[in-house]
C-alpha cells in the first residue's frame, strides 16, 4: 500500500511539473512576441525580460512548496506566486487578442496558466495536509450520527457527540502545545546553546607534615575491636548490566502510534526511539518530532 501511495505521489509531482513547464513556455513566447512585434523592443531585451519573469515565478513556487513540505504556510510567497500566474494568464490572453487569434485562441493561450493556477492551490493544500497528518497535528474526524439515531436513541447519540467533542478539544489543545514547543525548540536551535563559563580551578593547598604524637604507655588490657557491618550488594537491573536496553514491543504502524507505545513502556530516549521508528516507517522522523509525540502522550495520560 505504501509503495502504491509513493508511486501516486511521484505521478502527481511529475504531472504538476509538466503543467508548470507548459505554462512557462507559453508565457515566455507571449511576452517575447509582444515585446518584439507590438512594442518594437530588441529581441535580446525581450528574451531577458521573459526569462526573468519565469525565473521569479519558479523561485516563488519552490519557496511555497518547500514551506508546505515542512508543515508551514508561506502566505506571502503563495500570494506572490498566484500573482505571477495571474499576470501570465493576462499576458497570454492579450497576446492572443492582439495577434488576431480570436476567442478560441484567447482560451487556448490562457488555458495553461489557468490550469496551473488551480492545480497549484490544490497541490499545495495536499502537501500541507499530508505533512500535518504525518506529524500527528490533524485531529480525527468527528463520528457521524444519523437523523434516525438521534430520534430513536437521543441520550446515547448526545453522549457520543459530547465525548467526541471533548476528545477533539483535548487533541486541539495538545496540538497547540506541540506547536508552541516546536517554536521554542526552533528558537533554541537558532540562538544556540548557552555558553557555560568554566569555574576557576581551586588553588593547590600546601601539605604540611603531621606533628609527632606523644607516645602512649603500653597496657595489658586489649582494646575493644568493633566489627563493621557487611555492606549489602547493590542490585543491578538485568537490562542495564552491560549497557543494553531491550527494544519495546510495537504493534502500531504509524510513527505517532509507535512513539506512543514506546512512551507507554517507559522508553523515553528520543534518539533511540527515533531510530526504532525509522526502521518501521517509510518516512523518517527526527528527534524533535519524537519529543512532540511524547508531549502528546503526556497530555493524554494526565
Task: Provide the residue ranges of all domains of the chain, joining segments of one domain with +.
Answer: 2-134, 151-187+249-302
Q: Which helix (H) or strand (E) holds 88?
A: helix 75-98
Q: Which helix (H) or strand (E) holds 63?
A: helix 43-69
What is the 8-class DSSP label of residue 218? -
Cell of 158: 448526545
Query: How much is the pLDDT for 137?
Result: 65
136: left (phi over 0), alpha (psi -120 to 50) or beta: left
**pTM, full prediction:** 0.48
In sequence order, the 6+-apart residues with CB closer than 8 A to the CB of 292 are 135, 136, 178, 181, 182
Inter-residue contact 285 to 268 (CB < 8 Å): no
**Positions in the chain whose pLDDT score sits under 50:** 194, 196, 234-244
Please, where are the H alpha helices in 229-281? 255-264, 270-278
Query: How much is the pLDDT for 235?
Result: 47
Query: How much is the pLDDT for 234?
Result: 45
Inter-residue contact 96 to 105 (CB < 8 Å): yes
Inter-residue contact 171 to 141 (CB < 8 Å): no
Amino acid at each position: 500500500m505504501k509503495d502504491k501511495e509513493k508511486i501516486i505521489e511521484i505521478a502527481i509531482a511529475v504531472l504538476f511539473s509538466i503543467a508548470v513547464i507548459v505554462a512557462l513556455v507559453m508565457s515566455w513566447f507571449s511576452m517575447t512576441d509582444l515585446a518584439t512585434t507590438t512594442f518594437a523592443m530588441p529581441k535580446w531585451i525581450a528574451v531577458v525580460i521573459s526569462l526573468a519573469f519565469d525565473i521569479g515565478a519558479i523561485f516563488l513556487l519552490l519557496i511555497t512548496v518547500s514551506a508546505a513540505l515542512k508543515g508551514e504556510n508561506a502566505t506571502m510567497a503563495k500570494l506572490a506566486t498566484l500573482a505571477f500566474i495571474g499576470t501570465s494568464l493576462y499576458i497570454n490572453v492579450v497576446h492572443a487578442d492582439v495577434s488576431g487569434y480570436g476567442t478560441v485562441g484567447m482560451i487556448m493561450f490562457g488555458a495553461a496558466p489557468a490550469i496551473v493556477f488551480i492545480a497549484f492551490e490544490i497541490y499545495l493544500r495536499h502537501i500541507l495536509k499530508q505533512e500535518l497528518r504525518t506529524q500527528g497535528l490533524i485531529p480525527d474526524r468527528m463520528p457521524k450520527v444519523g437523523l434516525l439515531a438521534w430520534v430513536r436513541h437521543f441520550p446515547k447519540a448526545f453522549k457520543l457527540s459530547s465525548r467526541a467533542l471533548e476528545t477533539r478539544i483535548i487533541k486541539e489543545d495538545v496540538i497547540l502545545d506541540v506547536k508552541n514547543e516546536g517554536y521554542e525548540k526552533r528558537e533554541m536551535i537558532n540562538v544556540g546553546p548557552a555558553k557555560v563559563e568554566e569555574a576557576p580551578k581551586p588553588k593547590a593547598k600546601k601539605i604540611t607534615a603531621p606533628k609527632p604524637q606523644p607516645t602512649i604507655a603500653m597496657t595489658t588490657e586489649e582494646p575493644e575491636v568493633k566489627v563493621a557491618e557487611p555492606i549489602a550488594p547493590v542490585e543491578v537491573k538485568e537490562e542495564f548490566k552491560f549497557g543494553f536496553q531491550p527494544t519495546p514491543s510495537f504493534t502500531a504502524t504509524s510513527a505517532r502510534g509507535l512513539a506512543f507505545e514506546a512512551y507507554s513502556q517507559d522508553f523515553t530516549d528520543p534518539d533511540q526511539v527515533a531510530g526504532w521508528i525509522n526502521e518501521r516507517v517509510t518516512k523518517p522522523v527526527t528527534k524533535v518530532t519524537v519529543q512532540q509525540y511524547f508531549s502528546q502522550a503526556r497530555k493524554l495520560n494526565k
